[in-house]
Amino acid sequence: MPRKVRKKMKAAGRKPAKQVAKLRAKRPPPKTAKRTLPRPSAKPWGEAGRALAGVRILDFTHVQSGPTCTQLLAFMGADVIKVERPGSGDITRGQLRDVKGADSLYFTMLNGSKRSITIDSKHPKGKDILDRLVQQCDVLVENFAPGALDRMGLTFAHIHKLNPRMIVASVKGFGPGPYQDCKVYENVAQCAGGSASTTGFRDGPPLVTGAQIGDSGTGLHLALGIVAALYQRTRTGRGQRVLCAMQDGVLNLARVKLRDQQRLKHGPLTEYSQYGEGIPFGPAAPRAGNDSGGGQPGWILKCKGWEGDPDAYIYFITQAPVWGAICDLIGKPEWKTDPDYATPPARLPRLRGIFAAIEQWTMTKTKFEVMEICNKQEIPVGPILSMKELAEEQSLRATGTVVEVDHPRRGKYLTVGNPIKMSDSPADVRRSPLLGEHTDEILRQVLGYSEEDIAAIKSSGAITAPDKPAKAEAA
Ligand code: COA
């Protein structure tokens, strides 16, 4: 570099290129991702903010599958803004209604800790508001029928253009394929996902389960996808689409049955009681009644009081390492050494008789007595707990798994809190919102509309039901 230029640069306070290169070389190496993490918080556990604080969700969900997902995210601290149709809202507000004039438990137990805004998504002004919400949110969650979101104009391309960081998460009944356009409810998914064909007794029809594995199960899958996409976004800076098909979610939960389907090629499923009964297997994994899904035989047995109480039963597992303790307990010590009973393979064809003998013992005790006696001996058993018993179980209240919340229209009700316990993010379980309860608040605080703007929006009909003033939404 000519001396003249060097002098000029020095005068201007700039360093010549060579010097810059030298200084750069002396700089410490760039920090690794790990080093750029904030220092561990010194705040007491649970006081450092909730896990998803700062995440804002545009919640376009309804019925059960989507709301399960967004409620869980709300329990973890996300600001969930539920968009509902003016006048009626989520259809479940009025379904299975038990208290006149109040939102149903169907709705209240799936929409806790959320805010509600009413927007007519097909009204031009409503579309404007939605576009602004898209710009202010991190995640859009929806479980409309296939194509409904696109018909509202909220295609992924449109959303991505407005907010490239937006994650768009959807529940659909089926993934791409022959059934992709079908509308799907819980039991359809249980049937299409392999649960119903493998649930029930071999000589009876397929059965659906009480646990909502199609709806709530898929909502859980979606929540995981959203959290993973939020994490990936910290590296890529962009959002993505997350899709959970209910058929896929159910099949994932029925994974062990696809395992059994493949085992069939190599011989009978010896842990199924049908094997012990000498009944041949067909081409598909059969219904296994109450057989245990694992390698340890189990069955549901009657307990004291079964004649009058439909839940006086216990699940009893004849786990191999505690076989001796079981024999002593039921008064069959000779089975410990009898070659017909001493080993798990010898017992397999005799399971029906074995469980009948154990039942003779369990019928002399309540399910809780069986539980207490067996647990002391490390014999795995599970009492069949009714919903009444679960609602009254104090340990579930203490852990926040069952929570009582107060609602302005229906009074106190029980809800299931966050089943995922986090030591630094206590669950935020609050009542569900009234229809449109937070419309004004969201328009003002989140979207920055002025009072005049809000008045104009109200008179446009974009956030109110036809012929109803905005206030009526919350009334
Ligand atoms: N303003 C105006 N219109 C709205 C609206 C709002 N705020 N919110 C919803 N709508 C409209 C939708 O745009 C749609 O209109 P379109 O069909 O003209 O496009 C209409 O309401 C109905 O939505 P849809 O999802 O089709 O409801 P549905 O009652 O007919 O079907 C399901 C319900 C659950 C069967 C269907 O949504 C579905 O299959 N979802 C995916 C699978 C799923 O989650 N199933 C489990 C539910 S627990």
Kindly tell me if the per-residue pLDDT of 5 is higher than 80: no
Give residue 13's pLDDT: 52
Element (H, E) at 263: helix 255-263
Residue 349: which pLDDT band, with cuts at 50, 70 and 90? confident
Kindly tell me if the per-residue pLDDT of 293 is higher than 80: no
Lowest mean pLDDT among 49-53, 115-119, 462-466: 462-466
Give residue 37's pLDDT: 84
Q: Is the CB of 183 under 6 A from ligand 1?
A: yes
Q: Is the CB of 119 under 6 A from ligand 1?
A: yes
Q: Are 255 and 213 in contact (CB under 8 A)?
A: no
CB under 8 A, 24+ apart: contacts of 53-56: 53/77, 53/78, 55/79, 55/138, 55/139, 55/230, 56/81, 56/136, 56/137, 56/138, 56/139, 56/446
Kindly tell me if the per-residue pLDDT of 14 is higher than 60: no
Lowest mean pLDDT among 133-147, 191-205, 455-469: 455-469
Q: Is the CB of 74 under 6 A from ligand 1?
A: no
**pLDDT over 70 percentage in the chain:** 91
Q: Is the CB of 172 under 6 A from ligand 1?
A: yes
Q: Is the CB of 14 under 6 A from ligand 1?
A: no
Lowest mean pLDDT among 3-7, 50-54, 210-214, 311-315: 3-7
The rounded Å distance from CA 72 to ligand 1 centre is 21
Pocket test for ligand 1, best of 183, 215, 247, 464 (most atoms within 8 A of CB): 183
Give residue 467's pLDDT: 58
Collapsed DSSP state (helix, strand, coil) of residue 368: helix
Kindly tell me if the per-residue pLDDT of 102 is higher than 90: yes
Collapsed DSSP state (helix, strand, coil) of residue 192: helix
Ligand 1 atom at minimum distance from 60 CA: 8
If you take atom 28 of ligand 1, which residue's CA is the nearest one?
A: 145
Q: Is the CB of 145 under 6 A from ligand 1?
A: yes
Residue 472: which pLDDT band, with cuts at 50, 70 and 90? very low
Give residue 17's pLDDT: 47
What are φ and ψ of residue 407, in 5° steps?
-120, 135
Give residue 465's pLDDT: 77
The dihedral sign for the CA sequence 158, 163, 164, 165: negative
Q: Is the CB of 121 under 6 A from ligand 1?
A: yes
**pLDDT over 90 percentage in the chain:** 86
If you take atom 6 of ligand 1, which residue's CA is the nearest one?
A: 85
Residue 369: which pLDDT band, with cuts at 50, 70 and 90? very high
The rounded Å distance from CA 120 to ligand 1 centre is 13
Kindly tell me if the per-residue pLDDT of 292 is higher than 90: no
Question: The whole model's pTM is what?
Answer: 0.90
If you take atom 8 of ligand 1, which residue's CA is the nearest one?
A: 85
Lowest mean pLDDT among 341-355, 371-385, 456-470: 456-470
Average pLDDT of every residue of the chain: 92
Ligand 1 atom at minimum distance from 183 CA: 39
Residue 20: which pLDDT band, with cuts at 50, 70 and 90? very low
Q: What distances in angstroms separate CA 360 from CA 73, 296, 308, 382, one per listed residue? A: 47, 21, 17, 17
Give residue 153's pLDDT: 95
Q: Is the CB of 175 under 6 A from ligand 1?
A: no
Ligand 1 atom at minimum distance from 144 CA: 25
Residue 2: which pLDDT band, with cuts at 50, 70 and 90? low
User: If you average pLDDT over residues 17-28, what whole number do you get?
Assistant: 50
Give residue 96's pLDDT: 96
User: If you average pLDDT over residues 190-203, what whole number do you get?
Assistant: 97
Active site residue 215: yes
Residue 474: which pLDDT band, with cuts at 50, 70 and 90? very low
Q: What distances in angstroms separate CA 260 from CA 195, 293, 294, 344, one per listed residue? A: 13, 9, 10, 19
Give residue 21's pLDDT: 45
Ligand 1 atom at minimum distance from 122 CA: 2
Give residue 30's pLDDT: 56
Q: Which two tokens stand for residue 460?
A: 């446009």
215, 248, 260, 291: which is the annotated catalytic residue? 215
